[in-house]
Chains A and B, each alone.
Chain A
């Protein structure tokens, strides 16, 4: 879409910050990204750190669907140990 045709007051897509801990395995990141994509979110930023047998992943995501639904789907992945939504970042993005 041509940006100039976008109404000035159109609300921006909600953005969320999630941190996720998962086991190191062959397809770890692909598995995570696949779920994020198919459940309706875009990755705006992603930082991955390897911590022993785990990966710690910080994600900034954009999407209009309820983020709790994505959290629930990510938690279903066998190798995902934890998904935490950064509430502070959520509040800041809602105020913005």
Chain B
């Protein structure tokens, strides 16, 4: 077996059946081995960034490892944004690149780049493989490492001569023991329970760590039993399900007033799988000022990183949640006043966007997303891009599971949505997958329309077209004296014609009374289809907290001014 065949062998041993890649000089031995391979579906995207983001979307939707492959030099550099995106959101990913032959490394050879050096800050770990003899063991370790503890991308850079060199077949199965450092098992659940029981206003704050730990079901049971009022981060959306009586929605910069108010007033914050990111906390000094904090996380380095906590629990999240659920079953919390208060806030300070009943009125983003949420099947996967439309989805779409909402959180990568939707569709060919994009974001990876056509993926694309970089325009309006700078996109291509050029049918709508039919038409179509939705340029995302300001200082839609006390707006 040569090095390339060892890679495929590792795919088979680890149950990796789908990979996203793009060939080129130094990775050609692997592409040659693929010709004879049975069992690996290689998806050819049209740009390496598309490969990495599709692998990311595959991993987010399936909970399994995402794999992307590229050649050296430009292939590897094109992957970088997608890998950074996975790194910031702790997505399990294996990245394989060809490298120039060992003897040419360091000679400025054709398509040589120092991949190891330039990716140090965006990987969980990386390898430059010295010999084909090591390759099988490195593959096993890399695959294990990417998925264990706090997941993340692991990059394996392989010189061409190593791909071609022969090495004996791996004689034994990969070791079951984890190659990664395991989390400490010292968890003090009883102390957490004591703190929760002595709190009058406990609040649950959860993030993407719940699904990363595959703890969605334990979490759901925990929230139902504990009946704690709860808020989520962007990546935690869906954790509580869409029918939770005590859920207040997303907190933070574009969070609901109810969620931010509850954080402001709570006396105990139970943080689960979240890292207290600045988009969620706003100005840290004023964040949850009255609360003691319990932090449950897989990553020791997150504990006390931004806020000192009173108690930290680490270890298997499923186990911790199940133990706490048992405690709550035998003795529920007595916090009915606080629950009632939070429910009242949610009624008056949740995300409200009155549906516009006027049939000829222009479409607004929130109204469209609300309709989409009502019409699309419950298990629909929505892959967003980045901008206002992303926030409207986060605010107004009712998600029943965190793996149904794919959104670039930590990196905020425009162009994420279309390739991520492709990945999600490969994760489950029968599921309903919708990319909700802005007109700016859509153009960042529009080449992937060709991938959708090639594989006849039935995914749906929705462009909320406001003819500008809406989120930037909004911040220029609010924080830069309305001095618009380089945000105009009124010379966008004709998106309907563009889709059709890729042999993908498309529909244009612009009036409120066309929303329902538009959505129903694309959902009913048995193949890929694009819905182009013209929306008003001036529409903003409300509420908003100025970057760096306190979450108490939400800017209100009607007043367009900072309100220092949310109390005015939340009864």
Complex CA–CA separation, A23 to B125 (angstroms): 13
CB under 8 Å from chain B, chain A span 53-87: 66, 68-69, 72-73, 75-79
Q: Which residue of B lies closest to A34 (CB)?
A: B120
Interface pick from B16-24, B299-307, B368-376, B439-447: B299-307
Complex CA–CA separation, A69 to B304 (angstroms): 8
A27 touching B301 in the complex, CB below 8 Å, given contacts A78-B125, A78-B145: no
A34 touching B121 in the complex, CB below 8 Å, given contacts A26-B116, A27-B128, A78-B180: yes
Interface of chain B, main secondary structure: mixed
Contacts of B300 in A (CB 8 A): 72, 75-76
A27 touching B121 in the complex, CB below 8 Å, given contacts A69-B301, A76-B301: no
Contacts of A91 in B (CB 8 A): none
Interface of chain A, main secondary structure: helix
Contacts of A78 in B (CB 8 A): 124-125, 145, 180-181
B126 on interface, CB distance cutoff 8 Å: yes
B493 on interface, CB distance cutoff 8 Å: no
Complex CA–CA separation, A68 to B302 (angstroms): 11
With an 8 Å Cβ cutoff, the count of chain B residues facing the other chain is: 19
A30 touching B301 in the complex, CB below 8 Å, given contacts A78-B145, A79-B125: no
Contacts of B299 in A (CB 8 A): 76
Chain A: minimal CB distance from B362 (Å): 46
Contacts of B103 in A (CB 8 A): none
Complex CA–CA separation, A35 to B116 (angstroms): 15
Complex CA–CA separation, A31 to B125 (angstroms): 9
Chain A: minimal CB distance from B505 (Å): 47
Chain B: minimal CB distance from A17 (Å): 21
Contacts of A66 in B (CB 8 A): 304
Contacts of A26 in B (CB 8 A): 116, 127-128, 130
Chain B: minimal CB distance from A61 (Å): 17
Contacts of A27 in B (CB 8 A): 116-117, 120, 126, 128
Q: Count A-B pairs with CB separation below 8 Å.
A: 40
Interface-centre pick from B120, B126, B181 (highest chain A CB count, 10 A): B120
Q: Which residue of A lies closest to B157 (CB)?
A: A26
Q: Which residue of B lies closest to A81 (CB)?
A: B181
Complex CA–CA separation, A34 to B180 (angstroms): 21
Interface-centre pick from B121, B124, B130, B301 (highest chain A CB count, 10 A): B301
Chain A: minimal CB distance from B239 (Å): 25
Contacts of A30 in B (CB 8 A): 116-117, 120
With an 8 Å Cβ cutoff, the count of chain A residues facing the other chain is: 17
Complex CA–CA separation, A73 to B304 (angstroms): 12
Q: Which residue of B lies closest to A26 (CB)?
A: B128
Chain A: minimal CB distance from B139 (Å): 15
CB under 8 Å from chain A, chain B span 120-174: 120-121, 124-128, 130, 145
A38 on interface, CB distance cutoff 8 Å: yes
Complex CA–CA separation, A68 to B304 (angstroms): 9
Contacts of A76 in B (CB 8 A): 299-301
Contacts of B117 in A (CB 8 A): 27, 30
Contact B121 A38 (CB under 8 A): yes
Chain A: minimal CB distance from B303 (Å): 8
Chain B: minimal CB distance from A26 (Å): 4
Chain A: minimal CB distance from B126 (Å): 7
Q: Which residue of B lies closest to A37 (CB)?
A: B121
A31 touching B120 in the complex, CB below 8 Å, given contacts A78-B125, A78-B145, A79-B125: yes
Chain A: minimal CB distance from B276 (Å): 13
Indicate with 1 or 0, residue by residue over B287-331, a CB within 8 angstroms of chain A CB atoms: 000000000000111011100000000000000000000000000
Q: Which residue of A lies closest to B300 (CB)?
A: A72
Complex CA–CA separation, A60 to B120 (angstroms): 22
Contacts of B128 in A (CB 8 A): 26-27
Contact A69 B116 (CB under 8 A): no
Q: Which residue of A lies closest to B306 (CB)?
A: A69
Q: Which residue of B lies closest to A32 (CB)?
A: B120
Indicate with 1 or 0, residue by residue over A23-61, a CB within 8 angstroms of chain B CB atoms: 001110011001000100000000000000000000000
Contacts of B305 in A (CB 8 A): 69, 72
Chain A: minimal CB distance from B384 (Å): 28
Q: Which residue of B lies closest to A25 (CB)?
A: B127
Contact A72 B301 (CB under 8 A): yes
Contacts of A72 in B (CB 8 A): 300-301, 303, 305
Complex CA–CA separation, A87 to B117 (angstroms): 32
Indicate with 1 or 0, residue by residue over A14-28, a CB within 8 angstroms of chain B CB atoms: 000000000001110
Complex CA–CA separation, A25 to B138 (angstroms): 12
Interface-centre pick from A27, A38, A68 (highest chain B CB count, 10 A): A27
Q: Which residue of B lies closest to A66 (CB)?
A: B304
Q: Which residue of A lies closest to B149 (CB)?
A: A76
Complex CA–CA separation, A79 to B124 (angstroms): 11
User: Would you mind naming 5 contact pairs between A and B with Cβ atoms under 8 Å apart?
Assistant: A27-B128, A31-B120, A68-B304, A76-B301, A78-B125
- Going nearest first, the 9 A-B pairs with the smallest beta carbon separation are A72-B301, A78-B125, A26-B128, A34-B120, A27-B116, A73-B301, A72-B300, A76-B301, A31-B120
Q: Identify the B interface with A (CB < 8 A).
A: 116-117, 120-121, 124-128, 130, 145, 180-181, 299-301, 303-305
